[in-house]
């Protein structure tokens, strides 16, 4: 995607197989067979995005890493492919100037630190919502020990955010709590062009047609729903894409309240 002088590349680190129950225990197994098309599962990407803007090379989310995670109802996350996509773009780990983490769930922080808690992207500053540090690093949130260790050992390389912040020219972090306490989205702009990178604030466009469906991973479902409703309104005028949108395709909300990719 080209936004004026800014380029945005979608990269998948792997696959997220999603069961209807991910969206709530009340969602029937037979719901939306056109979406859950293979053995009651939908196969979604583990999305990351690479932004090139002036002298900055910004990675948005760091995937699951060389790891897998088994979830209830046969759901599974399998990662490890981020560097295939980066390599196809001619980008090496040392080229990344910034990593913006939308939230601290396992499938968004996996490539930040290796098993020795050392930075995978040695020259990058890491940006994230400060409330996620409180919840995952110092609180009850689930996080891999080496990722927690990396955050603790390399705090000087980090920008915890407590308010909406400009990361780079045209790259703005906007706090959208609920899915996690410090969840953030990115609002990109270059000239008249705009794009929203939604993280997991909206899991999938199908939630527009199914407004009661919330994410299995929502820490605060009510607040997450409020953030989601605000984003649906913004998506009426600005295209966007989330980390698990099918094919990592952008789209917009079009009258009468439908998703158009």
Q: pLDDT of 25-55, one tens digit each?
A: 999 999 999 999 999 999 999 999 999 999 9
Which pLDDT does position 167 carry in this prediction?
98
Token pair for residue 93?
């780990």
Label residue 258 by pLDDT band (50, 70, 90).
Answer: very high
Q: What is the pTM of this model?
A: 0.97
pLDDT for 10 equals 98
The domain that holds 134 is classified in CATH as 3.60.15.10
- Please give the average per-residue pLDDT across 235-261, as a whole number: 97
Residue 53, pLDDT score: 92
Express each pLDDT in 168-190 by its tens digit. Answer: 999 999 999 999 999 999 999 99
Q: How far apart are the first and last CA of the chain?
A: 14
So what's the pLDDT on residue 57? 98
Give the integer Cα–Cα distance in Å for 149 and 127: 17
- Domain of residue 9 covers 2-260
φ, ψ of residue 119 to 5 degrees: the values are -65, 130
Structurally, how many domains does the chain consist of? 1
3-state secondary structure of 84: helix
For residues 3-30, average pLDDT: 96
């Amino acid at each position: 995607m080209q936004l004026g002088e800014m380029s945005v590349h979608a990269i998948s680190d792997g696959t997220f197989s999603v069961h209807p129950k991910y969206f709530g225990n009340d969602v029937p197994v037979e719901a939306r067979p056109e979406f859950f098309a293979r053995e009651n599962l939908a196969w979604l990407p583990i999305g990351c995005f690479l932004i090139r803007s002036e002298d900055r090379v910004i990675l948005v989310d760091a995937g699951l890493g060389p790891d897998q995670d088994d979830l209830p109802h046969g759901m599974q996350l399998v990662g490890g492919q981020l560097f295939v996509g980066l390599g196809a773009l001619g980008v090496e780990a040392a080229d990344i100037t910034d990593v913006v983490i939308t939230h601290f769930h396992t499938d968004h922080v996996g490539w930040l630190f290796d098993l020795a808690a050392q930075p995978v992207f040695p020259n990058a500053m890491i940006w994230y919502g400060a409330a996620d540090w409180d919840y995952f690093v110092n609180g009850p949130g689930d996080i891999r020990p080496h990722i927690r260790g990396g955050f603790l050992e390399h705090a000087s390389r980090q920008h915890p955010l407590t308010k909406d912040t400009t990361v780079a020219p045209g790259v703005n972090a906007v706090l959208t709590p609920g899915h996690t306490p410090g969840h953030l989205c990115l609002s990109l702009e270059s000239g008249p062009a705009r794009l929203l990178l939604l993280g997991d604030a909206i899991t999938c466009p199908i939630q527009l047609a199914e407004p009661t469906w919330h994410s299995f991973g929502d820490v605060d479902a009510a607040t997450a729903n409020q953030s989601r409703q605000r984003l649906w309104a913004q998506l009426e005028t600005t295209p966007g894409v989330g980390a698990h949108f099918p094919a990592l395709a952008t789209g917009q909300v079009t009258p009468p309240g439908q998703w158009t990719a």
